[in-house]
Structure 1
Amino acid sequence: MTYDVSAIRAQFPALAAGTAHFDGPGGTQTPLPVIEAVTDALSRPLSNRGRLLAGERNADGIVVGARRAMADLLGAAPSGIVFGRSATQLVYDLSRTLATEWSPGDEVVVTRLDHDSNIRPWIQAAERVGATVRWADFDPATGELSPDHIRAALSDRTRLVAVTAASNLIGTRPPVAEISRLVHDAGALLHVDGVHRTAHSAVDVERLGADFFVCSPYKFLGPHHGVLAARPELLETLRPDKLLPSSDTVPERFEYGTLPYELLAGTRAAVDFLAGLDTDASGTRRERLTASFAAIEEHEGALRARLDGGLSALGGTTVHSRAADRTPTTLLTFPGRSTTAAYRFLAERGIHAPSGSFYAVEASRRLGLGDTGGLRVGLAPYSDGEDVDRLLTGLSEFLRS
């Protein structure tokens, strides 16, 4: 395993500005191959998909290539990959479609740990058809969401459970595979928000047991749009609203209007870039991705340990990310001090660690932080030890100020 963070950082033009980025959970910086792929797609002939003219073939090749790349990244079938404007948009579309089969007395389960995009669409869809919403809690002392939390919310009327694969606020990674078995034993579907998880570890939607899995390429070095993965045979059973002349085949049935070809070209490039981060890896793209994510986890894990050690030595800091299994994302507060003030203090020193609840408002409230949240520190594949040391120095200076 070879992971050369200096060589990786050299591929990110934005890093030349000198900012130490800890804002990856909100969106990562973009490597050159992705930028070049977007530019190349827009520089060549491009039109609606087809097989006759160059522009048609280019568009078709981009879409097919992007589906295959995302399938390799997620362990899914290319024909089960749906593209949309954002993960939020895809969840709203899916919730409205699934709700057409719900009726009063049916139940939907959401969790206090999730981003609001995996909560509010399901609540609103349930309300429209008279279905009941049940809440699964998590332990605010540990940050853990266990299978028991989900089991307590299940019944024989449960139709769907929505759960995160990793909290974008505190990093907790619930045991999704165990939760999936409970959900399926109850005869329900499982919708997994994988937006934060996909950036930090290898994903296999089949092993996770996710019926639906959403993610966002801009969280893992790619462009801004959303991706939904599901079994093609499951998608075949769903009838979303669509325009009469638009394709009724899966997955195009769920994609509205002309796809953003240049962004899909960038997404394929992002997956290929990720597959090459472990320079010793070989084999299929899926195999190289698995090896590269193992290297990413080792790299980010070492930096997280460095960060955790530095934070424990600071004093005056409360760490809310405590789960045994979590991503390298840490939520901090400072008793008697404003995290917004800390964010501004760090920003003046070229360190980007934002403050807020980051749309995980239910989790923030459950942690006792209201809608304010805290200072979120997120590591990314291009983070290095110097970044972490700059952050710790900046926090030390803030706490003394």
Structure 2
Amino acid sequence: MTYDVEAVRAQFPALRAGGAHFDGPGGTQTPRPVIDAIGEALAGPLSNGGGGRTAGERSAGELVVAARRAMADLLGTEPSEIVFGRSATQLTYDLSRTLAASWAPGDEVVVTRLDHDANVRPWIQAAQAAGATVRWADFDPASGELTADDVRAVLSERTRLVAVTAASNLIGTRPPVPEIARLVHEAGALLHVDAVHAAAHTYVDRDALGADFLVCSPYKFCGPHLGVLAGRAELLEGLRPDKLVPSADTVPERFELGTLPYEFLAGVRAAVDFFAALAGPAEGSRRARLAGSFAALEAHEDVLRSRIEEALGAFPSVTLYSRARRRTPTLLLGFEGREAQDAYRFLADRGVVAPAGSFYAVEASRRLGLGDTGALRVGLAPYTNADDVERLISGLGDFLGRAA
């Protein structure tokens, strides 16, 4: 498979403004096929889904079906296991409350200090409401690694659920989720995986990961703003979330509160198809094409990440916190004697977008000794090219060479 980054970039209207975007971990720019799909859905007949007797009802139903199939292909699940919601955070909150209905004092829930707070706080709050105990799995701040042994150390026969990230949105670390899943299931617990960051950079397979539940956000992989939950069918069937009396009680519809954003579902399908074509035309199913695209994308991003890391080696006053052996192309940088926010503003004035902060990964930021302030995050996206990288490196050099 080949990766023609300039052909990819040509499909992003926002890039015409000239910025070099390293803010992908917070949300990517949107390609033309996604924009067009959303517009076309809104331009045609569109009604609240119902009996399918009108053109608008049929359109709504078709958009839902197509989006479920697309996300199932992206995540390695069945369409009937795909739940849509306003955001991954909202879906995690809803799931945590539903699962916690069966928890009791003495039960335990495990969260990690590597995770985005959306995969930490909902579980803590649900555990507190049920009288359950929260146990923390720590990661090594020196290496950035979260190991299976770190999770093993806090598992017990009372563990009911473990929440872990597939990739850190702050430092890129990709924990050994399949190994963690094996330990979790041996303990008789469930595994909830946050794949919001991972799904933008890696080929996700829920079953290979061993996840019972997995969430992601299409706006992190060039789609619209909403969330997706992929849960195992047998588990979803056994859960009874709060819902309105007249709303559907089938799975996955019983977890979807209110009318779905049909136009955004059109964008979700288009975003998955966009990723499936990243490496050019290929034979086989959409799932197979996605595998080829992600392999090509990872190779492309690895080259650019290596170039950035090589250049950072010439800046002794820069601390690179992204050190794990397996990680996404997401780099967290600190500056000796300088504020990360100053670096962000300096780069922004030069058209290089690399924000500073803790990015809701407050526990990870604190564990790294950065408090809630965080550091400068540099994240690659499918449209990042070598020129962008050189602009970033040049800008950092100018910032560090400037008097404080």
Q: TM-score, normalised by structure 1?
A: 1.00
CA contact (8 A) 1:116 1:360 kept: yes
CA contact (8 A) 1:199 1:220 kept: yes
1:273-292 → structure 2 map (5 Å cutoff): 273-292=274-293
Deviation at 1:232, TM superposition (A): 1.4
Deviation at 1:48, TM superposition (A): 1.2
Partner amino acid, structure 1, of 2:221: F
Alignment match, 1:62: 63
Alignment match, 1:368: 369
Alignment match, 1:37: 37
Deviation at 1:310, TM superposition (A): 0.9
Alignment match, 1:103: 104
1:96-135 → structure 2 map (5 Å cutoff): 96-135=97-136
Partner amino acid, structure 2, of 1:28: T
For the residue of structure 2 that corresponds to 1:370, the secondary structure is: coil
% identical aligned pairs = 72
Question: How far apart are the structure 2 equivalents of 1:264 and 1:300?
Answer: 28
Deviation at 1:33, TM superposition (A): 0.1
Higher deviation after alignment, 338-347 or 225-234: 225-234
Partner amino acid, structure 2, of 1:156: E
Question: How far apart are the structure 2 equivalents of 1:281 and 1:353?
Answer: 34
Deviation at 1:233, TM superposition (A): 1.5
Partner amino acid, structure 2, of 1:25: P
Question: How far apart are the structure 1 equivalents of 2:85 and 2:272?
Answer: 17
Question: How far apart are the structure 1 equivalents of 2:23 and 2:268?
Answer: 20
Alignment match, 2:333: 332
Deviation at 1:281, TM superposition (A): 2.4
Deviation at 1:231, TM superposition (A): 1.4
Question: Within the alignment, does 1:88 sit opposite 2:89 as a pair?
Answer: yes
Alignment match, 1:13: 13
1:123-272 → structure 2 map (5 Å cutoff): 123-272=124-273
For the residue of structure 2 that corresponds to 1:201, the secondary structure is: coil
Partner amino acid, structure 2, of 1:35: I
For the residue of structure 2 that corresponds to 1:82, the secondary structure is: strand
Deviation at 1:282, TM superposition (A): 1.6
- Superposition RMSD in Å: 0.5
Alignment match, 1:394: 395
Deviation at 1:280, TM superposition (A): 4.6
Deviation at 1:230, TM superposition (A): 1.0
Question: How far apart are the structure 2 equivalents of 1:332 and 1:2?
Answer: 31
Gaps of 5+ in 1: none
Question: How far apart are the structure 1 equivalents of 2:368 and 2:232?
Answer: 35
Deviation at 1:208, TM superposition (A): 0.3
Alignment match, 1:352: 353
Question: How far apart are the structure 2 equivalents of 1:139 and 1:349?
Answer: 35
Partner amino acid, structure 2, of 1:180: A
Q: What is the aligned length?
A: 401
Question: How far apart are the structure 1 equivalents of 2:350 and 2:86?
Answer: 34
Question: How far apart are the structure 2 equivalents of 1:287 and 1:305?
Answer: 27
Gaps of 5+ in 2: none
Question: How far apart are the structure 1 equivalents of 2:208 and 2:289?
Answer: 18
CA contact (8 A) 1:160 1:188 kept: yes
Deviation at 1:314, TM superposition (A): 2.4
**Consecutive aligned runs of 4 or more in structure 1 exceeding 2 Å deviation:** none
For the residue of structure 1 that corresponds to 2:238, the secondary structure is: coil
Partner amino acid, structure 2, of 1:45: P
CA contact (8 A) 1:2 1:280 kept: no
For the residue of structure 2 that corresponds to 1:313, the secondary structure is: coil
Deviation at 1:277, TM superposition (A): 0.7
CA contact (8 A) 1:159 1:187 kept: yes
CA contact (8 A) 1:214 1:229 kept: yes
For the residue of structure 2 that corresponds to 1:375, the secondary structure is: strand
Partner amino acid, structure 1, of 2:38: V
Question: How far apart are the structure 1 equivalents of 2:247 and 2:389?
Answer: 50
Alignment match, 1:319: 320
Question: How far apart are the structure 1 equivalents of 2:241 and 2:31?
Answer: 36
